[in-house]
Amino acid sequence: MLASCMLHGGTLPSLPSPPLFFLRTRTLSLPFSCRGTLLSESAERPRWNRFYLHSLSARRTLLRVAESSEVTENVEEESSSAPLKHSIKIPVGDRHILVETGHIGRQASASVTVTDGETIVYTSVCLADVPSEPCDFFPLSVFYQERLSAAGRTSGGFFKREGRAKDHEVLICRLIDRPLRPTMPKGFYHETQILSWVYSYDGIHSPDCLAVTAAGIAVALSEVPNTKIVAGVRMGLIGDKFVVNPTTNEMESSELDLMLAGTDSAILMIEGFCNFLTEEKLLKAVEIGHVAVRDICREVETLVKMCGKPKMVEAIKLPPDELYRHVEDISGYELVNALQISSKIPRRKALSVLEEKVISILTEKGYVAKDQVSGTTDVVNDKCDNEDEDEDEEVVSDGEVDEGDVHIKPARKPIPLLFSEVDVKLVFKEVTSKFLRKRIVEGGRRSDGRIPSEIRSINAQCGVLPRAHGSALFTRGETQSLAVVTLGDKQMAQRIDNLVDTEEAKRFYLQYLFPPSCVGEVGRIGAPNRREIGHGMLAERALEPILPSEEDFPYTVRVESTITESNGSSSMASVCGGCLALLDAGVPVKCSVAGIAMGLVLDTEEFGGDGTPLILSDISGSEDASGDMDLKVAGNENGITAFQMDIKTAGITLPVMEKALVQAKDGRSHVLYEMLKCSPPPSKKLSKYAPLIHVMKVKPEKIHLIIGSGGKKVKSIIEETGVEGIETQDDGIVKITARDLSSLEKSKAIIANLTMVPTVGDIFRDCEIKSIAPYGVFVEIAPGREGLCHISELSSEWLAKAEDAFKVGDRLDLKLIEVNEKGQLRLSRRALLPDATPESTVSKNQTSLGEEENDSVNTASKVAFVRVESIEQKSVQSVNTRESKILSKKSVFTRKATSVPAKAEEMIRRLVRPVRESSVANKEKQSKSDVKAVRVSSREPNLVDDEAKIG
């Protein structure tokens, strides 16, 4: 019956009680879909569903039990019941967040949804059934993704789905990972995965701080044997008020962006940036934030007691305790000597050789403890089962039996102890860290001979790359950064597409590269990993406050920091090198900034100290790995611009952090002083290879003249002048980017003339004819700006065709006589001719009067009408109407010669006006003004160019 149900996909029958051998233990592997389900003999009867049948052994077991059990319907009824949901409201700042569990993702080890406003973050935790190989780090992986559907958007790509994690999401993954990892116990090797998605976003409440809290709550509810509950908040500073989890609108005016995570008793992680905030204000923000974290953790404890799962404490496997003592006995003096080598590579090779020696002895040859060297000591071998078989055997010494019949046992050789290679490696690393910390605390000297507050030697050079816009090589001890600055226009800006950020592009960004060669190793080169993205963002945030505004420096700035040597604090070296490279590129920064990394040794009593935490300045790589803290602080003598802190222990308190920040301030001042000694110093001027950017301001309504139809005009300007790009904004700002000054000046002139506001009466000299039409010529009065000179305005004499007297390329002096509502220009050459005045015409007619002149005027007038009719086809009807009216009045053409020329001229001008006029009345009015302008011009033959008015 059971087999039939399974084959047909039916519901499995209920069993009287769950079989004991099916209960989840560390030795039974369940299918992936069943992970996170913990059963016990006293637990309620589980729901047997088809997911369990993925395991062959479980299927066979169920078949055997079903054959000998009675079928009930209880479980079927239970499976149809609604999921049990647990929820609590936690006060955070001036509002509450809602935490819910038990209704989504029930097959995971734990899953929660955290809601703030209408922003919802879902987080799940799952564990591998089988532990992985022991290693020196906790196998934790974190994935965070912002679904664009949460804000009612879709991806802009072809596939319309989210792709690989963006830099913003990678940074939040790091924010989730860093505070959780110190709370995980050593010896737990079940791979743990945290998945977090943003399912709803209201644009007001940021999801990143919710994701940190959601991950901490999910881990606390799961089977992961973490030691403390972790929560996170964001801190802002609006005016003089510190705000917990500020909204996105509040963050726009905040001077501080601080992400803080911790437990109810200590701080585990801080990261953020600010605008030269003092150490006192930063500590105050941390204090207020930790109070909020403490309140969240206490509320979560109630939820954990209500529905949390038992922790897998029995899965923790630690190396044998005696192995620590054996490794110390073997390495001992050699390990102390190796740690005293100041150079990184020789020290690493010496430690590697010593490690191989220890591994060989303890895993292959076996190790004999000091208390087993005595010949009278019997060493018991666990692998030998017949050790008592020869106990009564008579032993003959020198071929004779002792008279006292005394049985003498030989001195057995001690049996060497063997350990696993993984355990030996783990223990050797811990012992090395212990010896290093002991040397620092007891001797007061670090591995390279420095005292705790001493900074390594600093050397800086600028201008090391001649073709780069700016470059600097910054070296501090064995850490070295090659920083390069590239300047460009908006096209070089970094495009971003995040759920939270609404900014379209970043005009400043820093990219960090950490090749394997910088530590003398061989490795893969590919896309930037999470560490590189995180370190680059930290350095970028440290330098951003010193950059000038876009109005003062309209460039897009890119900084590349390539780590060529690394022995600690490469991100802070990127800050120092990046600042010098900006100065070398001529960027007018507000001030110089520097960065330094601080370390910490807690529990100094264990190593011979007085118990006071020991703060280390400018830590090296080994001190970072073996110490308890890595605190990076960037800024100048007056304040902090960026910071980041990671803790490797259960956390630190505010007094310890305060001491570290004060010591870091002294270290920054020293580094800034050494940066002033840079040789060669930064040039502080634009490189000759850097592009030139000119900013112009025109009237917003003139922008379309620069762009043209479909962008044709701006493209033609770029091709004609050779500039790299022209950027226009709706507010009238125009940015021209060019490689040389000549092309920049050409484009400036074209744009200035395109956007000029000419007025009637302006005179333009030596203008070139660009094209000829039957009704006139098009003349370029300025680069990129043309106007029409009608055939009637080309000459004082009658012209049948414009090409009869002019050709393309000829140059003319013209006067602007009209600007229509579309901005089109009407020009006149005849208005500047000396013989075009009525006075000259009248004096000429007074000397020679006769009927032949009257006939010629009559003929010219009629020909002009016919010409207008043949050329301007669009206005045939209006022209014919006006022609008939004028021809009917023959007295106009038969009047005396003294009045005919002026009247005929005026009438002809009214007839040959362009068809673009709005109305006949406007045409006649404009004609009168044109005649008046011509007359005034004729009285002043020696004219100069009028200056064009620029918008």
Residues in Cβ contact with 257 at an 8 Å cutoff, skipping those fewer than 6 apart: 234, 236, 251, 272, 273, 274
Residues 150 and 273 in one domain: yes
Residues in Cβ contact with 920 at an 8 Å cutoff, skipping those fewer than 6 apart: 878
What is the number of other CB atoms lying within 10 angstroms of the CB of residue 918? 9
C-alpha span between 674 and 577 (Å, rounded): 12
Q: Residue 596, SS3? A: strand
Asked whether residue 127 is domain-assigned, the answer is yes
Which residue has 């050494």 as its token pair?
674
Asked whether residue 372 is domain-assigned, the answer is no
Residue pair 179/231 in contact by the 8 Å Cβ criterion: no
Strand order in the sheet with 614-617: 241-244, 231-238, 256-262, 267-277, 640-647, 629-635, 594-601, 614-617
Residues in Cβ contact with 828 at an 8 Å cutoff, skipping those fewer than 6 apart: 789, 790, 793, 814, 815, 817, 930, 934
pLDDT for position 782 = 79
Last residue of a domain, one of 732, 755, 778: 755
Q: Residue 322, SS3? A: helix
Residue pair 167/512 in contact by the 8 Å Cβ criterion: no
C-alpha span between 119 and 914 (Å, rounded): 63
Q: Residue 729, SS3? A: coil
Asked whether residue 354 is domain-assigned, the answer is yes
C-alpha span between 212 and 272 (Å, rounded): 15
Q: Which of 116, 107, 109 is nearest to 51 (CA)?
A: 107
Domain of 574, CATH number, reads 3.30.230.70
Asked whether residue 542 is domain-assigned, the answer is yes
Joined together, the tokens standing for residue 891 give: 């007295």
Residues 426 and 506 in one domain: no
Last residue of a domain, one of 794, 817, 832: 832
Residue 193: how many CA atoms within 13 Å on its side-chain side?
10
Query: Which CA distances in Å does 457 have to 475, 477, 482, 575, 620?
Result: 8, 5, 17, 17, 13
pLDDT for position 95 = 92
According to DSSP, the β-strands at 556-565 and 508-513 are parallel
C-alpha span between 216 and 110 (Å, rounded): 11
- DSSP assignment of 837-867: SHHHHHHHHHHS--HHHHHHHHHHHHHHHHH
Beta bridge pairs of residue 642: 273, 634
Residues 214 and 242 in one domain: yes
pLDDT for position 420 = 87
Name the phi and psi angles at 893, rounded to 5. Answer: -95, -5
Q: Which of 428, 434, 429 is nearest to 367 (CA)?
A: 428
Written in H, E and C, the secondary structure of 781-828 is EECCEEEEEEHHHCCCCCCCCHHHCCCCCCEEEEEEEEECCCCCEEEE
pLDDT for position 913 = 42
Q: What total of structural domains would you count in the chain?
A: 5
Residues in Cβ contact with 663 at an 8 Å cutoff, skipping those fewer than 6 apart: 453, 598, 615, 617
Domain of 358, CATH number, reads 1.10.10.400
Joined together, the tokens standing for residue 933 give: 């302008």
Q: Residue 830, SS3? A: helix
Asked whether residue 922 is domain-assigned, the answer is no
Asked whether residue 870 is domain-assigned, the answer is no
Integer-rounded Cα Rg, in Å, for the chain is 44
pLDDT for position 1 = 40
Residues 171 and 232 in one domain: yes
C-alpha span between 688 and 469 (Å, rounded): 8
DSSP label at residue 756: B
Residues 735 and 776 in one domain: no
Q: Residue 695, SS3? A: strand
Helices and strands: H and E segment counts in the chain: 22, 29
Which residue has 């910088």 as its token pair?
518
The answer to whether the peptide bond before residue 416 is cis (omega within 30 degrees of 0) is no
Displacement of CA 351 from its chain's centroid (Å) = 38
pLDDT for position 411 = 56
Written in H, E and C, the secondary structure of 213-272 is HHHHHHHHHCCCCCCCCCEEEEEEEECCEEEECCCHHHHCCCCEEEEEEECCCCEEEEEE
Residues in Cβ contact with 847 at an 8 Å cutoff, skipping those fewer than 6 apart: none
Q: Residue 497, SS3? A: coil
DSSP label at residue 652: B
Residues 616 and 721 in one domain: no
Q: Residue 667, SS3? A: helix
According to DSSP, the β-strands at 640-647 and 267-277 are antiparallel
Residue pair 659/615 in contact by the 8 Å Cβ criterion: yes
What torsion do the CA atoms of 102, 105, 111, 114 make, to the nearest 10 degrees? Answer: -80
Last residue of a domain, one of 813, 832, 851: 832
C-alpha span between 734 and 750 (Å, rounded): 12
Asked whether residue 335 is domain-assigned, the answer is yes
Domain of 768, CATH number, reads 2.40.50.140
Residue 557: in which H helix or E strand, if any? strand 556-565
C-alpha span between 532 and 530 (Å, rounded): 5
Residues 287 and 328 in one domain: no
Displacement of CA 343 from its chain's centroid (Å) = 35
C-alpha span between 564 and 57 (Å, rounded): 55
What is the number of other CB atoms lying within 10 angstroms of the CB of residue 626? 23
Mean pLDDT by 10 residues, the chain (951 residues): 42 41 35 36 37 40 41 40 84 93 94 96 96 88 93 81 88 95 92 96 94 97 94 94 94 94 94 94 95 95 94 92 90 89 90 93 77 46 44 45 52 73 91 90 86 94 95 96 94 82 80 94 90 96 95 94 94 97 96 95 83 92 90 95 91 91 95 94 93 91 88 91 91 92 91 84 89 90 84 87 86 90 86 63 38 41 36 39 40 36 45 38 39 33 33 34
C-alpha span between 790 and 799 (Å, rounded): 11
Residues 258 and 288 in one domain: yes
Residue pair 37/24 in contact by the 8 Å Cβ criterion: yes
For 559, left (φ over 0), alpha (ψ -120 to 50), or beta?
beta
pLDDT for position 853 = 41
User: 851-879 b/e with 16+ CB inside 10 Å = b?
Assistant: eeebeebbeebeebbebbeebbeebeeeb
Displacement of CA 349 from its chain's centroid (Å) = 37
Asked whether residue 939 is domain-assigned, the answer is no
Residues 104 and 223 in one domain: yes
pLDDT for position 309 = 94
Residues 790 and 748 in one domain: no
Domain with 426 in it: 321-366+416-443
pLDDT for position 116 = 96
pLDDT for position 200 = 95
Residues 522 and 661 in one domain: yes
Residues 672 and 699 in one domain: no
Residue pair 559/661 in contact by the 8 Å Cβ criterion: no
Residues in Cβ contact with 532 at an 8 Å cutoff, skipping those fewer than 6 apart: 512, 513, 514
